Amino acid sequence: MVLLYLIMKIHQILLLFFISFSCNANKNLKPEQLNITKPISCPEDGVCTFQVLKNKTYTIKKDEFGNSYSEILNGKKTVLKFEYKRNELKGVQDSSYRELIYVEIDPENLELNLTNENLQKANIGFERLCFCRGQTGSYVLTQGHLLITKIQDNEFNITLDFKTDKVPQVITSINENFKL
């Protein structure tokens, strides 16, 4: 009886062991497999990522309280997404801070040179997420310069210099190479 009890316990422990370690399958995916690249330049106090989202569309919406937020949906465009995430301050609650910049481009018309109000031809948005009362949300960008140029067959460069008067910002410039 005792031997049967020990065998059952060992089987339970082995089963739990295998289940625990089998849930880590996706952790080995490399950023390239998720179409994420490390940006060329990023403030030293944070981490930045640059992502090319094919067959998507970008929009800014408002909730029932009038707060704006970004939404990416399935569509026929390509969305370039740049994210800056500041390192959290140790011992400080609610110290997370993120800025996201979205550029929606038409895969049929990739080379662009747009300034100020014309930036909306590329549907450019800026999103600030933090515990900063009254200074968070998503905003349409209408001040700046966007230049997308072809480097080789499927490789392009995006240079975006911008500013917004709606909220303070850390990121004011993006210069990235990307592939489609």
- Between 89 and 129, residue with greater pLDDT: 129
CA nearest to 143, candidates 171, 106, 118, 121: 118
Which pLDDT does position 58 carry in this prediction?
96
Contact assessment for residue 76 and residue 105, using Cβ atoms and an 8 Å cutoff: no
Distance from C-alpha of 34 to C-alpha of 47, rounded to nearest angstrom: 17
Tokens representing 69 are 């937020």
Which pLDDT does position 10 carry in this prediction?
59
Q: Where are the domains of the chain?
A: 29-179
- Render pLDDT for 16-31 as a digit per residue (tens, 0 to 9): 444 444 444 444 444 4
Q: Which residues on adjacent β-strands are paired with residue 29?
A: none
Q: Residue 66: left (phi > 0), alpha (psi -120 to 50), or beta?
A: left
Residues sharing a CB contact under 8 Å with residue 14, sequence separation 6 or more, in sequence order = none
Residue with the two structure tokens 């030293």: 44
Q: How confident is the model at residue 39 (pLDDT cuts 50, 70, 90)?
A: low
DSSP string covering 75-129: EEEEEEEEEEEEPPPTT-TT--EEEEEEEEEBTTB--EEEEGGGGGGG-EEEEEE
Average pLDDT over residues 26-39: 49
pTM over 0.75: yes
Which pLDDT does position 93 carry in this prediction?
81
- Between 91 and 49, residue with greater pLDDT: 49
Which pLDDT does position 31 carry in this prediction?
47
> In this model, does residue 147 exceed pLDDT 80?
yes
CA nearest to 41, candidates 179, 180, 172: 172
> In this model, does residue 163 exceed pLDDT 90?
yes
Distance from C-alpha of 153 to C-alpha of 108, rounded to nearest angstrom: 14
- Report the mean per-residue pLDDT for the chain: 83
**CA angle 155-57-159, nearest 5°?**
40
- Between 83 and 21, residue with greater pLDDT: 83
